[in-house]
Amino acid sequence: MNEALEAGKRAGVDVEALYKKYTGTGQSKLAEARIDRQNDRKDRPPPLKEFCRRCSGMGLIKEHYNHQVKDVNCTGCDGEGFK
């Protein structure tokens, strides 16, 4: 530790302060970060709706009837484009 203190002084770094800052706080800092992330999730608005994969959000799909191609409402999202 003495070598680190001397090297820190030569480099202009306060090694003692860094040692105090990072000693024994690893697990407690991780636990605090997890709690903070959980609290942040509670404050966020609900996620946005996803686009329908069947119609790509258009609300219409192409349907072949005899020799015609018709646009009909998507059965996956009922023509809304979102699920």
List pLDDT tens digits, range 26-76.
Answer: 566 666 666 666 666 666 677 777 889 999 989 999 999 999 999 999 998
Distance CA 8, CA 40 (A): 38
Name the more confident of 64 and 24: 64
| Whole-prediction pTM | 0.41
- State whether 9 and 34 are in the same domain: yes
DSSP state of 76: T
61 plus 81 within the same structural domain: yes
Are 62 and 71 in contact by the 8 Å Cβ rule? The answer is yes
Report how many domains make up the chain: 2
pLDDT at 60 (0 to 100): 93
Residue span of the structural domain in which 81 resides: 48-83
